[in-house]
């Protein structure tokens, strides 16, 4: 963030706020950021058999911070993303009763309420911390990619065994840099593997690295821009179809927003992409998509995504049928990642999906203000386009982890930070 905006955010702290409250908020938000990379489908803590200990230790300051703000700033509940979590948790308890999911919802509720209520200084520090953590993992992944590129035989030292279980003993330091799949692809005549850092599969790089890269671009410090570049490069080299689709959508939106405002793109464009996608696969089937992927695959076998296409498209249609018959939520979680609004309706009923739509409306207002006086190639505008491309993939195709702690809290960080930038801009004027 440039010095002027940073100074405005720093001085916008409420005068009565005690230093203890500020430090508690900072500690809680740092814990919230670390939980993204120690819980769910990011398994770095599992390597050292410390996942549950990390989760328990981090939940303490986060829970205390949340309780403090629930009492002193109850307005933090007036947010559509918070209400989505509350509705989803209610449906989970009433219908599915899978308590590990309830605990995930509780942690998400803690993190979102602290994000909404914490003072700007705490949010700014935690955003920098989150970007740094994601950037370090991305640079570790890049180092691993180059080592494996020049030493393909080292792929036998993978962190997981043939059964997908983390090895008890590490035979080579390259395994400590992250995980990779056993798939081998051809890139410029050279065999390469798909990287995923410590996520359980490459498509999760959308949550763990693409979204933080958009946040890093919004931060606009020299270090954050370098980390954004590292995260984007690692995401591309992971050969994830969801990453490629997000970047393709971002390029498409770059053209579209020259005609329509950002707010219209978020409120109407994202649902329109979903409707068009569902209409296409239900009307014409998957054959046109298979032909499109086959065309692109001739330029690189890593672009052959037929299996993923069948799973996600078929899952989207099945989940849509379930959602139409279950307005209060489904009795089981969706079997496959799919469109965010549809899977969100399955998780939290039609009311839950409505709160997600309200959240998109909130984002629309925020990004409209953010880009009101920005140039076409400004960093904020490029960050918004990347974010819009990611959300297009999430809303229409792949919501993997986006309705759980990692995705929802990442969205909370981005939304609150954009709001702070807008507040700083108004104060400066």
| H-assigned helices in 220-305 | 222-237, 241-256, 262-264, 270-284, 287-297
C-alpha to C-alpha distance for 46 and 166, rounded to whole angstroms: 8
Per-residue pLDDT of the chain (429 residues; tens, 9 = 90+): 455 444 544 443 333 344 444 578 899 999 999 999 998 899 898 888 878 888 999 999 999 999 999 998 888 888 999 999 999 999 999 998 999 999 999 999 999 999 999 999 999 999 999 999 999 999 999 999 999 888 888 888 888 876 677 877 788 888 889 888 777 776 666 677 888 899 988 889 999 999 999 999 999 999 999 999 999 999 999 888 889 989 999 999 999 988 888 888 888 889 898 888 888 877 776 666 656 655 555 555 555 555 566 667 777 878 888 899 999 999 999 888 889 999 999 999 999 999 999 999 999 999 999 988 777 778 989 999 999 999 999 998 888 899 999 999 999 999 999 999 998 887 776
C-alpha to C-alpha distance for 390 and 393, rounded to whole angstroms: 5
DSSP class of residue 167 equals: P
Residues 6+ apart with CB under 8 A from 284: none
CB-CB contact of 205 with 243 (8 Å):
yes
16 — phi, psi (to 5°)? -75, -10
C-alpha to C-alpha distance for 313 and 318, rounded to whole angstroms: 9
Cα 349 from chain centroid (whole Å): 22
Greatest Cα pair distance, the chain, in angstroms, is 63
Residue 42: strand pairing partners: 199
């Amino acid at each position: 963030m440039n010095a002027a905006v940073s100074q405005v955010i720093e001085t916008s702290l409420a005068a009565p706020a005690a230093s203890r409250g500020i430090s508690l908020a900072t500690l809680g938000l740092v814990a919230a950021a670390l939980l993204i990379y120690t819980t769910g489908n990011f398994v770095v803590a599992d390597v050292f058999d410390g996942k549950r200990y990390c989760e328990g230790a981090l939940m303490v300051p986060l829970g205390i911070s949340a309780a403090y703000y629930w009492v002193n700033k109850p307005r933090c509940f007036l947010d559509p993303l918070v209400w989505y979590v509350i509705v989803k948790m209610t449906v989970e308890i009433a219908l599915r009763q899978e308590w590990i999911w309830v605990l995930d919802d509780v942690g998400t509720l803690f993190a979102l309420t602290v994000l909404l209520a914490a003072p700007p200084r705490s949010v700014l520090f935690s955003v920098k911390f989150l970007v740094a953590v994601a950037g370090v993992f991305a640079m570790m992944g890049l180092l691993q990619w180059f080592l494996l590129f020049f030493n393909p035989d080292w792929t036998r030292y993978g962190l997981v065994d043939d059964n997908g279980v983390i090895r008890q003993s590490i035979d080579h330091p390259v395994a400590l840099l992250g995980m990779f799949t056993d798939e081998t692809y051809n890139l410029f005549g050279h065999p390469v593997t798909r990287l995923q850092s410590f996520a359980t599969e490459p498509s999760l790089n959308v949550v763990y690295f693409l979204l933080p890269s958009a946040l890093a671009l919004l931060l606009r410090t020299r270090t954050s821009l370098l980390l954004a570049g590292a995260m984007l490069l690692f995401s591309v080299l992971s050969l994830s179809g969801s990453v490629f689709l997000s970047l393709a959508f971002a390029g498409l939106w770059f053209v579209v927003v020259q005609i329509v405002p950002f707010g219209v793109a978020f409120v109407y464009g994202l649902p329109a992409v979903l409707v068009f996608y569902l209409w296409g696969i239900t009307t014409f089937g998957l054959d046109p998509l298979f032909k499109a992927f086959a065309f692109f695959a001739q330029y690189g076998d890593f672009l052959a995504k037929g299996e993923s296409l069948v799973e996600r498209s078929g899952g989207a249609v099945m989940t849509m049928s379930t959602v139409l018959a279950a307005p209060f939520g489904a009795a089981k979680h969706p079997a496959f990642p799919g469109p965010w609004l549809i899977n969100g309706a399955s998780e939290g009923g039609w009311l839950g999906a409505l709160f997600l739509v309200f959240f998109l409306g909130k984002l629309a207002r925020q990004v409209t203000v953010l880009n009101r006086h920005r140039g076409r190639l400004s960093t904020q505008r490029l960050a918004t386009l990347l974010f819009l491309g990611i959300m297009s993939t999430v809303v229409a195709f792949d919501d993997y982890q986006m309705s759980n702690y990692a995705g929802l809290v990442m969205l909370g960080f981005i939304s609150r930070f954009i709001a702070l930038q807008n507040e700083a801009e108004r104060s400066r004027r």
